[in-house]
Chain A
Amino acid sequence: MSHSNSFPRRRFLQSTAGLAGLGALGMLPIASAHAAAITVGFVYVGPKDDFGYNQAHAEGAAAVRKMEGVTVIEEENVAETVDVQNTLESMIRFDGATLLFPTSFGYFDPHILALAPKYPDLRFQHCGGLWSADKHPRNVGSYFGYIGMGQYLNGVAAGHATKSRKIGFVAAKPIPQVLLNVNSFLLGARSVDPTITCQVIFTGEWSMAVREAEATNALADQGCDVITCHVDGPKVVIETAAARNCFVCGYHADQSALAPARYLTGAEWNWASVYTAMVKSMQAGEAIPNFVRGGLAESFIKMSPLGPAVPEAGRAQFEATRARILAGGFSAFTGPMKDNRGNEIVSAGQAFKESDVELESMNYLVEGVIGSTA
């Protein structure tokens, strides 16, 4: 589908981007003699205004667009199939893009890995991929943020807001990044009250509006009174939960506008800061590291402002926890800790910080999470 209608749109983009490029060239000597002209391409798997994953990246692209000497081209709704290779090739050949951000997880293998060796002078930056020096091309980079700590802070706010001591999580698929978020959300809440439990429901798809709404209703029926999620577009979950009089914590982007009175806070990506820094070093001719990670302290993620429903004690603990995370060395996973089947996952005396790679292969739900990974 997206392929069949992508060609005329690419034609249109070509001509407009070409015009914009001419304009930029004309201005170049006066406006930005120091910044090299560069064309940056962004590719999204869904609509770029989905209140979620894609919007977070598009906000980053919008910040890059404001930089001097930069032309930004974007294409949305590009499937994780050979479609993304066609889109990237047309960005490279027709628009002259030299820095590319194919932002969806499934673009990495095999699509980026197939294109990168063909264009060794260009740079492919992929979000969330596990780049390793011995397996992957040198012109591919991977970056990601420790957003689990954002969900931990969501959990702190949720722990203070919940009356039923049951909180809920609508999750897409049981992959490590999602499990880390579910576990972090519960651990944050348990730092407030260790009797809190978290019910998780997996929808099995990154974006499936009706099933997300059903999952949210099922959580509310079970008495969960604070709900968050990890799906591509949290709009449906947030609106449905608020309609059931639950409090909500956001994810990916700021959703406070959807439920101003019931929105506690949210774990957001801060791609604007990450992308502008990467483009800057590219313009300056510096190398972008192949493997980049960062958290709150590195401005890879940020929190939505606290909503009116968070009580005073909650605000204080939220800010104190945020300060500890910003100071570095904070660890949510400290032993002894068991998973929800009774197996020990962190032994006594052991502690995993946000940057520990053990967390990137998480395959368990911690004790207190009601649900199963399979």
Chain B
Amino acid sequence: MNETDLGLWAVPLAILGGAIRVSTPFLFVSLGECLTERAGRINLGLEGTLVFGAMSGYAVSYLSGSAWVGILAGALAGALFGLIHGILCSLPRVNDIAIGIAMMLLGMGLAFFFGKGFIQPVAPGLPSIELGRWSDVPQVRAALKINVLFFIGAGLAFAMWWMFRTTRLGLIIRTVGDSADAARAMGLNVTLARVLATAAGDALAGIGGAYLSLYYPGSWNEGISSGQGLMAVALVIFARWNPLGCFWAALLFGGAGALGPALQSVGINQGYYLFYAAPYVFTLGLLFVTSSPTRVMAGAPGELSITK
């Protein structure tokens, strides 16, 4: 209450706040997809996992009384979806993109089916850390109320970046993703590595879904995801398969999503449909500028079905 009049400063503040609030699901899903794609598979089913994770996280949080148990449930549900995707794609002549679309429809359908009874109840949500105590401007305090999962996601981005660069596990995933033949020559089990990478990546997407229903916007309903799962898959390409890039891309998309409402709130009303399209226009522009007709996309794992 007693909000201070910020004038046009409200816009950058809203973008900052929005970036932090809205980016977390993008971050988790894109990190999950990054892990899977670095191992050589594309999983388009993450939108379904996101919605199912949102539903199962909310339901289990409501039934158990603890939001953290809900997050765990979202992750487990995601891992299960990932296992199914991973195992099905390991069969001969199975296309991972087709399976991904099937898993997406399955995840959403199951979530709507099991989630019917959980639209009305109010489940306990996730706590947040108030980093804005130093400020006496309430808007700054509200913008800096940051959920723990955001920090976990940011830490995970760094951890994954470090893992790919320097650890044996990272090397295994990269080898499997870049050349299955080389991996086999090294004595690695390519199929197992890919199944596990898909399961782990899908578990992260499940956590991203649980964030949607347990923190922001913080309730379960059938329209909870507006395509974040699909956009996050595109973000991975945008981030050139680099986990740190995923982090910045997720922040950018979150902030761009806050632009439309924030501009309207300070009186810039003309053409708000255009502002709502800002993230997509920006992505298109950036991909256009950085693409090249003479080489394959930089950083793309060699075994991906779209680059092969």
- Say if A and B assemble together: yes
Listed A/B pairs (15) with beta-carbon separation below 8 Å:
A47-B222, A163-B1, A201-B265, A204-B260, A205-B226, A209-B225, A209-B226, A215-B264, A218-B258, A218-B265, A221-B13, A221-B262, A221-B265, A222-B266, A374-B269
Contact A218 B264 (CB under 8 A): yes
- Taking a contact as CB atoms closer than 8 A, the residue among B14, B18, B143, B269 that contacts A372 in the complex is B269
B188 to chain A, nearest CB (A): 39
Question: Interface stretch among B68-76, B104-112, B287-295?
Answer: B104-112
Candidates A50, A219, A245, A372; contact of B221 at CB < 8 Å: A50
Question: In the assembled complex, how far is the CB of residue A160 from the closest CB belonging to chain B, in whole angstroms?
Answer: 16
* Cβ B223 vs Cβ A217 within 8 A: no
**Which of A81-89, A141-149, A233-241, A268-276 contacts its partner?**
A233-241
Set of chain B residues within 8 Å of A30, measured between Cβ atoms: none
The residues of A that contact B5 with a CB separation of less than 8 Å are 223
Q: Mark A1-37, 1 if CB is under 8 A from B, else 0.
A: 1001100000000000000000000000000000000
User: Within 8 Å CB of A203, what residues of B?
Assistant: 261
Residue of A at shortest CB range from B271? Answer: A374
Interface string of A190-217 (1 = CB under 8 A from B): 0000000001111111011111111101
Q: Which B residues are CB-close (under 8 A) to A222?
A: 3, 10, 265-266
A372 to B261 alpha-carbon distance, docked (Å): 13
**Is the CB–CB distance between B22 and A214 below 8 Å?**
yes
Is the C-beta of A261 less than 8 angstroms from some C-beta in chain B? no
Count of A-B residue pairs with CB < 8 Å: 141
Interface flag for B6 (CB, 8 Å): yes
User: A204 vs B269: C-alpha distance in the bound complex, in angstroms?
Assistant: 12
Give the docked Cα–Cα distance between A205 and B276 (Å). 11
Contact indicator B221/A47 (Cβ below 8 Å): yes
- Tell yes or no: B302 within 8 A of A by CB: no
Q: How far is the CA of A143 from the CA of B18 in the complex (A)?
A: 40
Given A77, A221, A236, which contacts B112 in the complex, CB threshold below 8 Å?
A77
Question: A225 near B: Cβ within 8 Å?
Answer: yes
A77 touches B222 (CB 8 A): yes
Residue total for A at the interface (Cβ-Cβ under 8 A): 49
CA distance A207 to B223 in the complex (A): 7
Asked if B267 contacts A221 (CB within 8 A), the reply is no
Question: Mask for B234-276, Cβ within 8 A of A = 1, else 0?
Answer: 0000000000000000000000011011101111011111001
- Complex partner residue of B226 from A211, A240, A258, CB under 8 angstroms: A211
* B10, B218, B228, B270 interface centre (most CB from chain A within 10 Å): B218
Q: Which residues of A contact B6 (CB under 8 A)?
A: 221
Is A110 on the interface with B (CB-CB < 8 A)? no
Known: A1-B108, A202-B272, A214-B257. A164 touches B222 (CB 8 A): no
Q: Are A236 and B3 in contact (CB under 8 A)?
A: no
Query: Is the pair A220, B264 in contact by a Cβ cutoff of 8 Å?
Result: no
Least CB distance, A346 to chain B, in whole angstroms:
23
Contact A210 B22 (CB under 8 A): yes
> A236 and B217: CB pair below 8 A?
yes
A5: chain B residues within 8 A (beta carbon): 109
Of the candidates A49, A77, A371, which one forms a contact with B119 in the assembled complex, judged by CB atoms under 8 Å apart? A49
Interface string of B124-160 (1 = CB under 8 A from A): 0000000000000001001100000000000000000
Residues of A within 8 A of B116 (CB): 47, 49
Partner of A214, one of B18, B105, B222, B224: B18
A218 and B262 in contact, given A163-B1, A210-B257, A258-B122 (Cβ under 8 angstroms): yes
Bound CA span A70–B261, Å: 46
Whether B119 pairs with A47 at a CB distance below 8 angstroms is: yes
Out of B105, B109, B219, name the residue touching A239 (CB < 8 Å): B219
A5–B105 Cα distance when bound, in Å, is 10
B132 CB, nearest partner CB in chain A, Å: 13
A204 and B273 contact, CB distance less than 8 A: yes
Contact of A209 among B112, B139, B217, B260 (CB under 8 A): B217
Asked if A1 contacts B105 (CB within 8 A), the reply is: yes
Q: Which residues of B contact A212 (CB under 8 A)?
A: 217
Beyond A1-B108, A221-B14, whether A208 also contacts B223 by CB under 8 A is yes
